[in-house]
Structure 1
Amino acid sequence: MSRTKGSVWRDVRFWRFAGQAIAVVVVILVLSYFLGNLTRNLRQLGIQFGFNFLRSQAGFGIGDRPIPYQPSDSYTQALLVGLVNSLRVIVTGIALATVVGVTAGIARLSDNWLVRNLSLVYVETLRNTPLLLQLFFWYFAVFFSLPPVDAAVRWFGVSLSKSGVQLPGGLQLSSEFSALLLGLSIYTGTFIAEVVRGAIQSVPQGQWEAGRSLGLKPAQLMRLVVFPQALRAMIPPLANQYLNLAKNSSLAIAIGYPDVYAVASTTFNQTGRAVEVMVLICATYLTISLVISLLLNLFNRSVQIVER
């Protein structure tokens, strides 16, 4: 029996399990303390924790309304409008940032001196400039300098004015949405460009030489041989950049775009429900981040080589 007990205390697996169990207990105790402290403070202020206020009338307008909304609607509907606005920016921004980043990343490795150095300037300049300043630039320096609607600039079927961008087909994008989308996409594209460049350079040189020996042109070599292999090393860091874009979208409040964070801030100012609103905001961004991570993990598994 003594040897059995001694072997348990020397078992690495036992100590790993014990360490994890202790960590879980500590986390539960800390959360219980803060929750109890929060409950006591709210009780002293005469506030009861709850989300019943979401059924009350919001009473404020929202500029960008992708779904029906009136100031007489509830806070729930207002927050739903903000959520849809956030998802519009995040989904479109991820797609646009990917195109910009992949293009710039490949251009960084171009044999053309001009293309290579233009990409270098783009990446190093915008990557080292605060995103908030870039959003201000796009909103105030670009869109505010455009003429009014009646004197809009038209270019290949696209109409540009102070009110935003009108695309063929009658699709209207507000200036706030356009500035936020461009700022997020171009900024995130600089980091994606470096991810793409590093992944391409990680492909063994023998693969390049094998493609050239088959007579493939540079574009064919990149598309058929190099890029598919680089994609396997590219996806994990790409997921981080997509998550950063999703969280950086909360800077929309700085230029007046009514995303979920901006609408939630207005809700908090009117209702005084700071804790409940913060819980909703955290849950929203956590859910969005988990969904992005899940989708990228599934895609990552689909492109990995299965060993037999």
Structure 2
Amino acid sequence: MPQIFASQKFRRIALQCGFILATVALIASVILVGKSNIAGQGMATGFGFLEQTTGWPVNFSIIEVTGRSTYARVLWAGLLNTMLVGFLTLIFATILGLLLALMRVSSNTLMKLVGTSYVEIFRNLPVILQVFFWYAILTHLPSPKQAYSIGEAFYLSNRGLMMPAPTLSGSDAMWFIAAVVFAVVFLLLTRERLRSGPRWAFAIVFTFIVFLLVLLTGREPDTGLISVPELKGLRFVGGITLKPEFTALLIGLTLFGASYIGEIIRGGLLSVDRGKLEAGCALGFSTFQINRLIRIPLAIRAMLPSLTNQYIWLMKGTTVGIAVGYPDYFAIVSTSINQSGQTMELLALLMGGFILINYSIGFFMNMLNERIKLKGRS
């Protein structure tokens, strides 16, 4: 027995087990005390309230939500709203950040000055201030009757940006999502059998063909393929409308995030060995070919870990949308707490939703990092 206690491995395992047990006991005690306090105040607990109707509408949602919708559907709509603005922000901020990074490492003095000025301005302004700024601009645009028009298809007013959209029903959207899922599975299953060109081309062509078939089949005779917004009375009908709250949040987060992402990408570009760039020049490559074939592929390895952290931060930054009235997941949960009083349950759902989204982003980025990193001991 003394020999067991003298073992360093035994002591290390015992300390770890003791720490885990103490943590579990602390969490269990907090839950029990909280449950007894809630019961003492006569408050109902559990997630049964999710099946109750909310009684209040949502001014912007991907799915249909009314005052008769349940809390579960409204919360799901809020989560989808957060994912929509969050992932669009990641895409646009990455594209803009790449352009800023290329401008800052360029030998052109004017491009370098523009890129540096952008980063210094937008990086040092609070994100909520930028969102308020764009929201004030969008809400002071002309009314729908005096809306700015582009080609009689796009309209910009204080009600938002109205644009054409394909007329997809619920079944059409499900078919299109199924085609996208099939294309992704096909790419994963054939990554070791086919070269990257043919399989990517097949997946894109297949998805496009399914999308066309969905648009052309199973429609009413008087239903068009594209719904174009039209002014009727004091508002536009048809098409799709991007509300000022959504647009302001998207623009503010994109411009703010691009300033940080641009610096991350610039650091990755500067980490590339200069000898490789000079080798590209010696082979007669243009500046565009050097960036596309040499610089950017090699820089991805260096910038991917920091880029992952920035992506997760931007996704959490969508919560500032509550300041301009955008019904994201955080705003929906806050309103639900005031209406239902189920504080602990809704906070648990709020934390669980963001953990799920951010862990998914981290998992995908770590998988990408594992795939492209250099293999070996060094």
- Shared topology, TM-score over 0.5? yes
Which of residues 140, 146, 150 is equivalent to 2:141? 146
Distance 2:324 2:120 in 1: 25
1:184-223 pair list within 5 angstroms: 184-223=253-292
Q: Which residue of 2 aligns with 1:182?
A: 251
Secondary structure of the 2:73 match is: helix
| Greater CA drift, 285-294 or 157-166 | 157-166
2:301 is the counterpart of 1:301: no
Distance 1:297 1:60 in 2: 40
Matched residue, 1:125 = 121
Residue 41 (1) aligns with residue 110 (2): no
1:288 aligns with 2:357: yes
The corresponding residue for 2:346 is 277
Distance 1:168 1:117, change over 3 A: farther
Instruction: Tell me by how many angstroms 1:196 deviates.
Output: 0.2
- Confirm whether residue 244 of structure 1 aligns to residue 313 of structure 2: yes
Corresponding position: 1:66 with 2:40: no
Q: Tell me the CA shift for residue 286 of structure 1.
A: 0.7
Alignment identity in percent?
33
Q: Secondary structure at the match of 2:105?
A: coil
Unpaired segments of 5 or more residues in structure 2? 166-238
In the alignment, the residues of structure 1 paired with residue 154 and residue 368 of structure 2 have an alpha-carbon distance, to the nearest angstrom, of: 34
TM-score, normalised with respect to structure 2: 0.76
Question: Contact (CA 8 Å) 2:5, 2:11: kept in 1 or not?
Answer: no
Structure 1 unaligned blocks of 5 or more = none
Distance 1:118 1:14, change over 3 A: farther
Deviation readout 1:131-165 (Å, 9 max, x if unpaired) = 1111101101x101211112112347642211111
2:259 matches 1:263: no
Post-superposition shift, 1:233? 1.1
In the alignment, does 2:227 pair up with 1:231?
A: no
Q: In the alignment, which residue of structure 2 is the partner of 1:94?
A: 90
Deviation at 1:297, TM superposition (A): 1.1
For 1:207 and 1:214, the matched residues in 2 are separated by 11
TM-aligned CA deviation for residue 14 of structure 1: 4.5
Asked which structure has the greater RCO (Cα within 8 Å, sep 6+), the reply is 2
| TM-score normalized by the length of structure 1 | 0.93
DSSP-derived class of the 1:61 partner = coil
Match of 1:107 in 2: 103
| AA matched with 1:87 | M
**CA offsets 1:253-284 (integer angstroms, 9 cap, x no match):** 11001111111111110111111111110111
Instruction: Report how many residues are paired.
Output: 303
Which deviations, in whole Å up to 9, do the C-alpha atoms of 1:216-250 show, x marking residues without a partner?
11111111011100011111111111101111101
